[in-house]
Each structure stands twice: as structure tokens, then as C-alpha cells.
Structure 1
Amino acid sequence: MKNTPQRRDLRFAIIGAGMAGILAAIKLRESGHQQVTIYEKADRIGGTWRENTYPGLNCDVPAHAYTYSFAPNPNWSHYLAPGPEIQAYFEGVVRDYEIEPLIRFRQEITRCAFENGAWRLSTADGLADTADVVIAATGVLHHPSLPDIPGLDRFAGAAFHSARWDHGVPLDGRRVGVVGNGSTGVQIISALAGRAGKLLHFQRSPQWIMPVDNYAYSEAQIAAFRQDPALVDKERYNEAYLTNVRNFTDAIIDADSPQIAAIEEVVKTNLEQSVQDPVLREKLRPTYRAACKRLIFSPDYYQAIQHPDSQLVVEGIAGVEPEGVRTKDGVLHPLDVLVLATGFKADRFVRPMTVLGRGGADLDRVWAARPTAYLAISIPEFPNFFLLNGPTGPVGNFSLIDIAERQWNYIAQLLDQIESGHCREISVTAAAMEDYEQRRIAAAKKTIFASGCTSWYLDAEGVPASWPWSYNNFAEAMTRPNLEAFDRIGRT
């Protein structure tokens, strides 16, 4: 008679106490797992919402859609939630679900090696631990990218990256320069227009701006949300929003689709109708197609850049001097404050952590060409190591919480294979990984991201690194693993 596999009491290590790490901890505890530890390099939770505190910060996903499905929030003040409210939301979830006792703060994992059937972890402080399963919830955008501008260290005023905002620096009435015009730069300009005495936006390449009405919820609406959870669900699962998500992903994957044509018409109309000065309008007009770069949603950037005290600078930066920024046309722009809204190193993921898999397989070497993971979750020869929002995932203008929850549904089914005793180690096969990558790269080259622009979506070889198929395709893929695509060692 065949023996019935014995269920295992697994020990889990979660790396990162941001949105995805909190989700993983809650789901593991709900499943009855008691040996769960979260390692967080900072002194509090929150991930990107802890790191970013710049003026004007908000999410570009509707607030009620940017919540865990199991933890609705009736108290959002606006359609697009301000950053401090999002940080407070995650802190509240951690408190309500009693997750904080699981977290070891100020413990940055520097090494993670699979040895003798278990993961050995080491921190920068010399702490050592062992886990059966590692959940890498380190996030995508958490290593600030600093521009290589000559003389930056010579600036006599205050200079800092937008993710390291110095709140001790006064802004009102000062001469403020902002370098970078992605979502962060746009939000900062919108927040500081009319506050700064002189506000300069240094633009390398213009952005298409999608208009959005970031309306405030009234006290009556918020009271109604508190009294009737069904109203929150109706707002969260708003059919118009879900339709927009599907249309947007359909637009991304087919550069010749009617959906992308409709998006282009909206953003072009927004530019034409919002910017009165024809010279400024042309400076703000991109030469690439809409959504080739991450599409920016803003209710008021065009108004902010037209403020009498605002100035768009497009001549290119030659260098920084003690008094300010000198552009390539020879003009010196005097500044008191210089903000570097220059984004993040989007290819880092779990790095610079050393991650060694079966037989000493080094993740740095595995990712030498490009970071990749099967369905953004698993890597060959790295058993019982799972990523949330890992490389090749659908990072776009919709909720990463929704993505992470769907990924967790998939990961939980792989965990069940280990916990139930059907195997001791599980990771995607090399053949399945190669097939996935070939299909993904071929599809990625047909997306709007590959239509002719530079962006952080592109890897070192110019291939879009994001999910190249539809939202519905992703949702379906996350429903159930094909176990034949996985190596299962120690099967009974």
C-alpha cells in the first residue's frame, strides 16, 4: 500500500515588509503557518510608500482598487489616494492582522543560499536563519537611480533624490529645480507650482499625459462607505474601471489596436486643449507613441507648468554649478533646491542580495542577460524560492495589489505540494522557463513599449521586461499551476 504523505510544518522567511510581504504574511498565518518571519531592512513597514514622501505623492490607481480584497478601506479621501494615506492604510492592516510581531526590522538580508535542502539566510548585522521556503517580496522600484551629471556634488544648495526627500528644506518662495518628468516629477511640479518662488522643470523628453479627475470624496460619501461595505465593493469593482484596465492592457499588447488609438486621441486632445502657448505646447509634445513610456495620469500638470512662476527647460543639462544648473545653451539657472526625480534601478529586484540556488547557481549569473522568472514567480534551480511582483510581471497602470493577490493564489498551490509532502523541493523546469521566455520576448517585441522610445520598461537589450499579454491572460495563468512545468524533488 502506498504511504500517505505527511504534512510538513514549514518555516517561512519573507524578505520585505511592503505591500507584498504583508500580504504573504497574512495569507500564511490564515493558512495556519506559525513559523513565519519577515525581514525588513528599514525601521518600519511600507515599502515604496515608506520611502517616497515627496509633495504631491499619490497613487495612479483608484484608491478603492488599491486595497487588499480582504481589507477594504472606507476612509480614502480622494479617488486617487495621497501617499500618506496609503502608508497609514498598510500600517493599519499590519496592526489589525497582528503582523508586526513577525517582523525583524533593520535586518537587511545580504545572502540567501540553498544548502542541504534548506535556505540559509544572513543579514548585514550577522544574524543567521534557516527557512524551508523564501518569499522574495522586495519590490521593483526601491533602489534610487542617481543621474550622472557633472558637478552635482558641487551644488551649494539642497540637493536630494525624490525618494529621499529632505523635509527640513523650505520650499515656499525658493528657487526649485526638478530633474525628471516621469510620474514623480509631474506630481512634484503640480504640488509646488504657486508655492516655489521660481519652479523649473528640466525635461529630457516630454510625456503624454492622461487627464484624470482626482475628486475628493465628500464626508457624506465616506460616512456611507463606513456604514455599508457593499458601497465600498461597488466602488472597488467599478465596472468602468475594470473595463479601462482591460482596454489598457489590450492596447499595450497590440500597437495597432483600436484601444491604443483611442488612448492616443485622448492624450493628444488633452495636450491641445490644455496648453495655450503654441511654443510651450510643442515642447511638451512627445515624438513617440502614447504608452510607449509608462502612461502618466495627472489632473493638473499642464496647468502647473503654465503657472507664471513655472518654467519648462528642454535645452539639456550640461552640468551643475554651486549656484545652479547650467544647460547646454550656456544659460545658468540659479537654484536654491535641486530635486532629482530620476527614478529607480528597475532591474535590481532582490539584488544586491547574493542568492545561490541548487548546486551554487548564482542569481547574478542567471540574470546576466536580463532579470526573468517564470510567470514572474519561479526560477529554475532555485527551489522553494518564490517572487511576488518579480521580473516579467504585469507592472502597468493598474493595481499591483491585485497582481500580488493573484500571484499568491498560484504560489499557495505550489506551497501545498511541499506542505502536503508530495515533494520537498519545487521550482520551474529549465525547459518550461525557456519556452516561457521565448514566447514572452516574441510577444514583448510587438507591444507598445517596443514602438520606439527609451524607458525603464526596457531591459539591457532593449526588450520590454513587462508582461506582454492581456490582463485576462494573466488572471487565467494565475488560476492554477501546471505542475508538469515544475521540477518536484523528493516526490512520494
Structure 2
Amino acid sequence: MTRTGVVIIGSGFAGLCLGIQLKLAGVHDFVILEKGDDLGGTWRDNTYPGCACDIPSYLYSFSFEQNPHWSRMFAPWDEILAYLKHCAEKYDIARHIRYGAEVVEASWRDGGWSVVLADGSGLDAEALVSGVGSLHEPHVPDLPGLETFTGKVWHSARWDHSHDLAGERVAVIGTGASAIQFVPPVAEKAAHLDLFQRTAPWVTPKPDRAIGPRERALHARLPIAQRVIRSIVYWCLEARGAGFAVHPRMLKALEIQAKRHLHKQVKDPALRAKLAPDYQIGCKRILVSNDYYPALTRPNVDLVTDPIERITPTGVRTSDGVDHPADTIVLGTGFRVSANLTRMRITGRDGVDLNDVWQRDGISAHLGITMAGFPNLFLLVGPNTVLAHSSMVFMIEAQVRYVVQALARVRAGRTVEVRPEAQRRFVTSVQRDLGGTVWQSGCASWYLDEQGRNSTIWPHFTTGYWRRTRRLNPADYLDG
């Protein structure tokens, strides 16, 4: 069995960032296991029409590797993927990546991790790091009759580019962050589009614009200019986080903006009423778009709010008994956020199964990174570290800095295992602080598990997380 110092699972932003920082620290004994045939994670998988980042591109890059070539304020998926490939090439990470390597099991044995891949091969490592992220396992809803549909069906994250939707009747199920991006371009091509909405999202204007060649040239010549813009964008988003981290009433201005946006773009009162959310803004993910509402006013688009009863061989039947014929069904139903680690079997000290621990105690980790009973195991984009107001790249860099410190202790011969009491203190404080936030205001969202517990969101400013992860506190760990 192959031996290595560190096994990193996933080659998206998180896995690449850790690989780069390890190399910058002089560590080269690591391998990145990627189940796909290319790097990029979310930005490799999501290629649907209109796919772009909903965080300003100035902030959607590593702080140590600014990208002066963004063409827009909100970068399209292909530019983000190109940026990640550029980073892998510049920092010589590609040779550390093993493609087609899906991890199915990992177990702690004899002071190290034994990792088993889907093809039966395996690796032994001193430390294991999960960088699989939250948005990579498509959620396919349990729709009665879906298997009987005779047309084409795909999830937005598995877009079939070989199939032309021009002139077709298309049924789109879901109105989340992906759907509001692909619905406008699909509506332009389709003969008819039925959009099945369960809950209306809050949508605010998208402050997008092209970044011209002169501005890009300036960024390339004077990186400080781009850093200034990045800093301004960061603090603007951090200020908006007050409505999430301090009190929901501070989101009132954003709510007014969203309502004005809807009223301005949708003149039909009946359609506008269907698109008006009935829950506190921020409880679910706030979406940004300039062309979503106009797409729904097209004569070839119908918004359907009656619940889906079943899928028929020729379309979608709703609870009012109406059949909506379709040639293609597109699922814009999001991702299985909690499945980022539970899709593989991970057993820690004394054979304890991570799935059993999380089912019993809830999904949790100290700082979202380490877990009691699982030595030398580190999570990136782990529990309660996802943001609703800013860039996850910032959080990833904070986590990577922390993990690099922990891995230095591993290389020094120590076993890094968080104390149960340290993990409990962190989890208790996070859940307490989530209690009065907008995320707990009564709506059903992908932030919450089946018990209504929020194991996804970081309930504070990003600066607070940066401070807490800036230095590893030895007292939090068993070896001191």
C-alpha cells in the first residue's frame, strides 16, 4: 500500500489551497485524491447556462494569488475554473493530484490513516484532510413517477450539453441559486418553460458589470489597485453581515431593496404575489439576479406554485390535477449539504464510525475543523463554517492556515486530537449564538438538518472566525 504524509480529499478551492500552502511551507509529501477526471470541484461540475459566482470576483480568489483577468464583477464558471487551473500550474500542484480516485473508506489504524479507494487500491497516511466541500452531491428529490418519464432528465450540476433545448417544452423544478441563473437563458431557447416553485426566494439586484481591458491591464501592472478594491468589497460584505450576525432588523434595508426590485421588474400583480416571499429575508439564501424576474414575465414561461403530485411519462402533474407536458425536466434542487463526508465510511479511534457519531450527537467539529475521537483528521469547509454574506475562499484560507499548523505538529511526531470538552464548548457556543438569528426564524432551509439544527452556518463575522483560527491553541488538544 502506498504511503504518504498527508492525504487530501478533493481538488476544489479547499484542497488546492492546502496543497499550495504546504508547498510554500516546504512540505511536498502529500497527495490530493480527486474522484473526477479534472480539478475544480464545484466549478468543474456546474457548467449550466448562465453559471457564475454570486460573490464579487475580486473576493473570489486566494489573497496570495490575485487574478487580474476577471472579465466581470461576478465571474462566470469557466473563468473560475481557469483560475484554479492556473493556481495548480503555477504552484506545481497538478503532479500531486490523483484523478479517478474516489475515497470510499478511511480508518485510523496504528497511529495513521488507511484510505481505501473505489477501485480497491489504498494509501496509508499520517494525516487525512477532507476538502470535499458542501456543494458537490446533487440532491435528487423523491418525486413519485420520476423513473417513468420518457423524456430527458438531469440535475443542473450534471447538465447535458449534448441535448438542445431549443423548441422544447421544459419543466424546471426548484428556484434556488442555480435555477435563477439557468432559467433566463433556457427560457430564451425553449418553446415553453414551466417553473415549479415551492418557496419564493428573496432576490436582490446583482451589481454586475464588465471589467474592461484597461482596468484589467491596470490590475496586472499595479496589483495594489486590485487589492484596494478587494478590501472595499470585503468590508462592504462584512458590514452586511451585521444583519445576520447581530440582529435581523439590520436586514430591513436589504428587504426593502428586494421588494422594490420585484415591483420594478414584475408588473403583473398576480405573478408578483406568487413571487413575494413569506418568510424573513436571510432565513434562506438571498439570491442576486437582474434577469430572473424578467424571464418569468415572458409569454412562454409559466410559474407553477401548486405542489407536484407526481411525474408522469409525459410531464408533471400537480395537486390541482393539471398535467404540464414536458420534453425535458431539469432539477434545480440543490445539493445534499450534509453528504460531504457521510458518503464515505470514516472510522476513528476504537473503530468509532463518524456517521454514528453525527447521527447521535449532530454534525459538529471544533472550529469546524477537528473532531474528538478522530486523530489527525481535519475538515475544510466543515460544520458551521459556511457563510451567507461573504466569500468562502476567505474562510478556506483561515482553515488552511490552522490545518498547516496542526500538520506541523503531526510531522513532529505528535498526534493531533481535539479534547472533547474543547469541541463541546465550541459547538455549544455556536448553537447558542445561532438561536436568535435570522436562520432560526422559522423557515425550512438547506442550512437545517431534519431535527431543525443548524450545522451549516457560521453565525458571526468572518473576522471573528479569522481570529479564532489564527493560532492553534495547544490546550485544546490532548497532547497539549
TM-score (norm 2): 0.96
Identify the match of residue 241 of structure 2 among 234, 249, 256.
Answer: 249
8 Å CA contact 2:54–2:74 kept in 1: the answer is yes
> 405-414 vs 225-234, which deviates more?
225-234
Q: In the alignment, what sits opposite 1:109?
A: 103
The match for 2:416 among 399, 421, 426 is 426
Is residue 439 of structure 1 aligned with residue 405 of structure 2? Answer: no
- Measured after TM superposition, the shift of residue 444 of structure 1 is 1.3
Distance in 2, Cα, partners of 1:309 & 1:220: 40
Task: Give distance in 1, aligned partners of 2:302 and 2:82.
Answer: 34
Secondary structure at the counterpart of residue 14 of structure 1: strand
**Residue 68 (str. 1) matches residue 62 (str. 2):** yes
Maintained 8 Å contact 2:366/2:418: yes
CA shift, 1:242, in A, is 2.2
Cross-structure match for 1:480: 471
Q: What CA RMSD, in Å, does the superposition of the two structures yield over aligned residues?
A: 1.6
Q: Contact 1:253–1:446 (CA<8 Å) still a contact in 2?
A: no
How far does the alpha carbon of each residue in 1:238-286 deviate from its partner, in whole angstroms, 9 at most, with x for none? x1x22332223221134444x2122222212222222111111110011
Q: Does 1:298 align with 2:277?
A: no
C-alpha separation in 1, matches of 2:291 and 2:135: 25
Query: Does structure 1 residue 77 correspond to structure 2 residue 71?
Result: yes
**Residue identity opposite 2:5 in structure 1:** R
Partner of residue 88, structure 2: 94
Q: Cα distance, 1:393 vs. partner?
A: 0.8
Could you tell me which amino acid in structure 2 is paired with residue 418 of structure 1? Answer: V
Question: Distance between the aligned counterparts of 2:449 and 2:193, measured in 1?
Answer: 33
1:66: Cα distance to partner? Answer: 0.4
Could you list the per-position Cα deviations for residues 139-182 of structure 1 after superposition, in whole angstroms to 9, with x for gaps in the alignment?
11211111111111111211111111111111122211110001
Aligned-partner Cα distance in 2 for 1:363–1:232: 43
Alignment partners' CA distance in 2, 1:395 and 1:486: 26
Q: Does the alignment pair 1:308 with 2:302?
A: no
Matches within 5 A, 1:449-488: 449-465=439-455, 466-488=457-479
Query: Secondary structure in 1 aligned to 2:342?
Result: coil
Q: Deviations over 1:295-330 (max 9, x none)?
A: 111122111111222211111211111221111111
Tell me how far apart the structure 2 counterparts of residues 472 and 232 of structure 1 sit (CA, whole Å): 21
- Residue 266 of structure 1: aligned partner: 257
CA–CA distance in structure 2, aligned partners of residues 425 and 213 of structure 1: 48
Deviation of the 1:123 alpha carbon: 0.7
| Matched position secondary structure for 2:83 | helix
**Distance in 1 between the 2:74 and 2:279 partners?**
27
Contact 1:349 1:391 in 2 (8 A): no
Spell out, residue by residue over 1:178-200, the C-alpha distance to the aligned partner (whole angstroms, 9 max, x if none).
10001111111122232221122
How far residue 10 of structure 1 moved from its aligned partner, in angstroms, is 7.6
Matched, 1:284 2:275: yes
In structure 2, give the amino acid aligned to 1:400: M
Offset of residue 290 of structure 1: 0.6
Cα 1:256–1:344, aligned 2, differ >3 Å: closer, same or farther?
closer
Distance between the aligned counterparts of 2:333 and 2:299, measured in 1?
A: 25
CA distance in 1, matches of 2:458, 2:248: 18
1:429 deviation in Å?
0.7
Asked if 1:172 is matched to 2:166, the reply is yes
Q: How does 1:175-214 map to 2 (within 5 A)?
A: 175-214=169-208
Q: Does the 8 A contact of 1:200 with 1:313 survive in 2?
A: yes
Query: 4+ residue runs of structure 1 moved beyond 3 angstroms?
Result: 254-257
CA distance in 1, matches of 2:273, 2:406: 52
> 2:145 is matched with which residue?
151
Q: Which residue of 1 aligns with 2:364?
A: 372
TM-fit CA distance, 1:472: 2.3
1:331 to 298, 322, 334: 322
* Sequence identity percentage: 36
Please tell me the residue identity of whatever aligns with 1:425: T
Encode CA deviations 1:341-379: one digit per residue, 9 max, x unaligned.
111111112222111111212101111142111111000
Task: Give SS of 1:176's match.
Answer: strand
Measure the CA separation in 1 of the matches of 2:325 and 2:343: 37
Instruction: Tell me the CA shift for residue 232 of structure 1.
Output: 2.1
Point out the more displaced range, 431-440 or 282-291.
431-440
Cα pair 1:316 1:327 within 8 Å, conserved: yes
Q: Distance in 1 between matches of 2:193 and 2:390?
A: 31
Q: What corresponds to 2:227 in structure 1?
A: 233
1: distance between equivalents of 2:91 and 2:210?
Answer: 28
Question: For the Cα contact (< 8 Å) 1:189–1:301, is it kept in 2?
Answer: yes
Q: Is the 8 A contact 1:392 1:467 kept in 2?
A: yes
Q: Partner amino acid for 1:478?
A: T
Is this contact kept in 1: 2:126–2:410, CA < 8 A?
Answer: no
Aligned residue identity for 1:22: L
**TM alignment of 1:339-354, pairs within 5 A:** 339-354=330-345
Whether the aligned pair in 2 keeps the contact of 1:108 and 1:123 (CA below 8 Å) is yes
Q: Deviations over 1:429-488 (max 9, x none)?
A: 101111212111111121111101111001221022211222221121122222211112
Q: Which residue of 2 is the match for residue 29 of structure 1?
A: 23
Q: How many residues are treated as equivalent by the alignment?
A: 476
Displacement, 1:381? 1.3
TM-score (normalised: structure 1): 0.94
Worse overlay, 212-221 or 222-231: 222-231
Partners of 1:374 and 1:436 within 8 A in 2: yes
Amino acid at match of 2:75: A
- AA matched with 2:428: Q
1:417 has 2:409 as partner: yes
Is the 1:267–1:290 Cα contact (8 Å) retained in structure 2? no
Does 2:389 correspond to 1:389?
no
Letter in 2 for 1:291: G
CA change 1:470–1:230 in 2 (3 A) is closer
Alignment-mate amino acid for residue 471 of structure 2: R
Amino acid at match of 1:265: I
User: Residues 48 and 256 from structure 1, CA distance in 2 versus in 1: closer, same or farther, beyond 3 angstroms?
Assistant: closer
2:122 aligns to what?
Answer: 128
